[in-house]
Structure 1
């Protein structure tokens, strides 16, 4: 009996390397068969490795009193001193609140717009008209924030601004949009919608295009109107895409973008407009506090990671696929 077990063990050990070699050869054959696909992925992979993963090494200066002339290896370690300074700074909580409010406004007002726009474009049957509308709403995405904000300034300025001239023509007084705390957040959200809403429809239109047309035919035979078809077929079919993009959006909870807010920032609205991105620029580059600025960036990334994991777990709890 023991000889039988011994022989079976020897046979298993002899077969295992052969199976591993076979699996490895199959993997290489699969890669060779799909080499064009991997070549397409290569530039994106190199971009993320070069600009996202390699720079992670620099996060260690968040735990150092970093001096550029000493380098990372020669700078003194201070542990969590910069994080203690950050959390004890009264300005931190104001910046944290400003960032969360702008993010909440983006989720509330901007996130649904591409979905609604995609649903509306999908209902357009005239192909030329549909392509024209798509082109017009895509164009702002290819403009830099400098151009978007500059156009807004020209339209909203007190001297010769189109919006203020229209307000005066209607019998009201001019509004100083550019130097107003009350108008900063609406102006920010409207600019985001103007620039990104059209571009955001691409993924939703692709998801809608993959829906089986027979579902719509069956719904029409049952007497369902266009709105009922959207509510009972289109939206449930793209629900997973919406949840996935929402999870990715939540991961950027503290990443609102430096350029846009910095161009709108001025001494009058700074109290409600200062966010982590502009604060990092001021602390790290203007004031030379590289370690402190890196600590703030590290905190932003950590919060984003936690939010993605929490949102993904919540999505799976309610029966959706989630991000991973």
Structure 2
């Protein structure tokens, strides 16, 4: 009987070789592994997601058929509500004056107004974050940045890689994931959540034709609270979006009824100023006389005369109760 010999260059059985080496570093999971957790969360809340997506589709269809001013009005309201995320608490009247005429008071924070003004611009139009996130955020690395410093474009690239890996998720789920990964990617500035929320709002509505953004804060900002596992965060996000969508549709219902009532009442008036003011009041939640003058191109006397008439007819109401720096809103 021939005895079998083991070649010297072949490794012996695994059990014969004791593992005396210290444990080495474990491989970190890829950044895109987080997508799996959000995919599972999406499956858990599929029915709720479908209902919210249906409401967003209804808003998209309504805005597609409605006047352009509706989009601006909803963006204006959403941006003012988002300002509370950073503690800025920019009121609608101050925001209106800033955006329309770049006017601010001594008590206003110019940086806060600029941040929320940026939000209004991004919620009303322009290329979305998918094309160029740095351009969308108006953020670029300085040319003289040191070689050891982490570049914003690199951080943004990591976040975008994860978002690209999540293309099979519903845009609403992907928006929620992107919002909660924002600070982890190092994209926030001093805890600024407005950028993250505006970016997410654009992503959530990326399949739409009428709506440019998905409302997130109109019904309260509870859906943007960052705590819990992806399933918990997505559940809050969907509930918050549902409330915001209902608030947006309710606002459109009210302004549509007001617009028809104002148009009927204005039939007795001549000139283009009344019609122009009606259009401005549909587009802006609050207006001042200087705003109306600048936006309409009419004289101060014509604007003041028509505002007085609208107030006498109960179509608008003055919001400040002051004699100077007065602001009006449609009576809805």
- More helix, by proportion: 1
* Structures share fold, TM-score greater than 0.5: no
What interval of TM-score do these two structures reach, taking the shorter chain for normalisation? under 0.3
Q: Normalising by the residue count of structure 2, what TM-score does the alignment of the two structures yield?
A: 0.26
